[in-house]
Amino acid sequence: MILRAENICVSLGKQMIFNGFSISLDKGIYALRGANGVGKSTLLRTLTGAQPVSSGEIWIDGKHLIRERLPALKRLSYVPDVNEVYPFMTGQDLLDFVTSVRKAENSQQVTLMTEHFGLRPFLSTRFDTMSFGTAKKFLICTAFINSPSFLVMDEPSNGLDLVSLTYLSETLKTWAQDKLILVATHDEEFISATGATILELKERHQKSDKTLILHQQTIVP
């Protein structure tokens, strides 16, 4: 299993969002859906170590997210729905920074991706003057640096133009052959284009008691 999370409990402020939630996934592409506020972003942040758990255990590719934090983090990438990049950084700065932090070689895949996304003219643009979609495309590119086994994206299609969206869908389909891709999305067309299996996050009896409903039939484009 690339992802294994068991009995996780997560609270935000006074609100318990997850109370004993478990999920295990192997390679493939999965679309996490659910009503606004049900906890999709919180779940993604938790599975990537960005949101601490009050109890429960998470393994990424067999590495424990707390006890083997660095090896676990090296195996995953997370693209949030908000631009969390320092405003003074340029597109190239971000690519260089992530390449260096991940001790990666300059990746051909990432260079190719920046070309397909039309990012070359924006390599020296600062994030505080970039459009939302352009910033999102740089963040997506960095997620592919060092070929992580577990790719997590929050609303990846949000803000992307059609050409970039088509390229991203095709790239994700290829990657899903031997990696796990988990995206939170409300975008039916994107789900259809990637052929993702839908995971519906729902509340069971009370707010913190959540379940995942797996839609066995994937939507075929």
Residues found near ligand ATP in the complex (CB under 6 A): 12-13, 15, 17, 34, 36-42
Q: Indicate the helix (H) or strand (E) that contains 78.
A: strand 76-79
Q: Of 12 and 101, which has the nearer Cβ to ligand ATP?
A: 12
d(CA 29, CA 63): 21
CB of 35 to ligand ATP, least distance (A): 7
> How big is the CA angle at 47 (ends 44 and 51), to the nearest 5 degrees?
80
Query: In the complex with ligand ATP, which residue's Cβ is closer, 102 or 207?
Result: 207
Q: Could you give the CA distance from residue 95 to residue 40 in angstroms, rounded to a whole number?
A: 27
Q: Is the Cβ of residue 21 or residue 167 nearer to ligand ATP in the bound state?
A: 21
Question: Least separation, in Å, of the C-beta of 50 and ligand ATP?
Answer: 12
DSSP letter string over 118-146? T-GGGTT-BGGGS-HHHHHHHHHHHHTTT
Report in angstroms how near the CB of residue 163 gets to ligand ATP at its nearest.
26
Measured from the CB atom, is 95 or 184 closer to ligand ATP? 184
Least Cβ distance, residue 34 to ligand ATP (angstroms): 6
The DSSP output letter for 90 is B
Q: In this complex, which beta carbon is closest to ligand ATP, that of residue 61 or of residue 187?
A: 187
Q: Which is nearer to ligand ATP, 173 or 186 (CB)?
A: 186
Distance CA 60, CA 69 (A): 10
Closest approach of Cβ 36 to ligand ATP, in Å? 3
111 contacts: CB under 8 Å, gap ≥ 6: none
For the chain, the C-alpha Rg in angstroms (whole number) is 17
